[in-house]
Amino acid sequence: MPTTTSSPGGRLRPLIVFGTRPEAIKLCPVILECQRRRDAIAPIVCSTGQHREMLEQVLGYFGIVPDIDLGLMKPGQTLAALTAACLESVDRVIMEEKPDCVVVQGDTTTVMAAAMAAFYHRRPVVHVEAGLRTGDLAAPWPEEFNRRVAGIVTDLHCAPTQRAAEALRRETIPESSIRVTGNTVIDALLHTVKQQRSDDSRLREKYPGASGDSVVLITGHRRENFGGGLAGICDAIAELAASHPGTEFIYPVHLNPNVKGPVHDRLQGLSNVHLVPPADYPEFVWLMDRANVVLTDSGGVQEEAPSLGCAVLVTREKTERPEAVEAGLAELVGTDRELIVRRVSEEIAKRRGGPSATIAENPYGDGKSSGRIVDWMLESWSGQLT
């Protein structure tokens, strides 16, 4: 295992790196937990800016200002160009800041590049949400590859579930480097839903369609669905909107032109389909809390929505988050138009009458994951500091 360096005041100095909205949602609870223990740990917060606009919304909500903002995203940037820019930039940050360890989350380009930069500097890596696998490098693409590369150089594998921990053991990761912490997304969710339920008058006014007794919330942004897959999903939504005029379909549309263009071309103008800009994180949690059915290709939503009692239909052929499927809380429907129409219609009929008022038991965590992760970091390295 790489060794930490001596830190001023004897406090552990982790470099916490993120670049996208999902990473920020799942790392903000860890950052806040570090801030609550400021006598023992002093985080250095670094944003690569991989998804700048949507990322800023999340950071603003949690009240976190990055210490370092790399601003790497450029229009039309290729994955190779982004990877190179991220690797070089995080490399410089590590040289200048000399952190004790590097903390990453999930499976983005930022995660892979930051983990590699840490490895080159022999800094320990903490991988939050480690061990998710589909076994197929093409699905999700390129995330499965990114996650596996990060896992090779990780020292503390913070597995969200027992299944994820088992996947790491099959890859001969030492037992001492694996700990089931739960998923920090549930920490963020439980905090947020409580706040949004207490005062939602503004959101009811902003999203009037979400106040009905039959609401379907839609997300779609995965690269493997670009083109024909996304077209099939949109055609299914159009058919559903026509056959269920009493149901409101709310679709916060991702800013990527490969998503925004086709979605607006196929769904613009349908009276009960509401194409809205990407919602701020607390607003999106509120929309999930109002929805009867969620149709999504998002990994994070597969973890969040079951806690809110929604029917979760996943527009993917494979998922690296099978726990909700196995528990009967989510179902893979792919991008087949007929299957989507049939299953969404069945769930609309079953769940009409409003959202669930209670939070269901979730296989992904109990809202205390961030504390476990910070505990493990301090347990592993605080004794080495002077």
**Hey, which residues are catalytic here?**
107, 129, 143, 221, 223, 254
Alpha-carbon gap, residue 25 to 270, rounded angstroms = 32
Alpha-carbon gap, residue 51 to 184, rounded angstroms = 20
Question: Residue 177: which of 165, 160, 192, 194 has the closest Cα?
Answer: 165
Alpha-carbon gap, residue 7 to 265, rounded angstroms = 55
Output DSSP code: residue 359. P
Q: Which helix (H) or strand (E) holds 293?
A: strand 293-296
Contact by Cβ (8 Å): 290, 203: no
The size of the chain, in residues, is: 386
Alpha-carbon gap, residue 70 to 20, rounded angstroms = 13
Query: Nearest 5°: phi and psi at 192?
Result: -75, -45
Q: State the residue for tokens 């949004």.
A: 196
CA distances (Å), 183 to each of 41, 105, 127, 287, 377, in order? 21, 10, 12, 21, 16
Q: Determine the longest span between alpha carbons in the chain, in angstroms.
A: 67
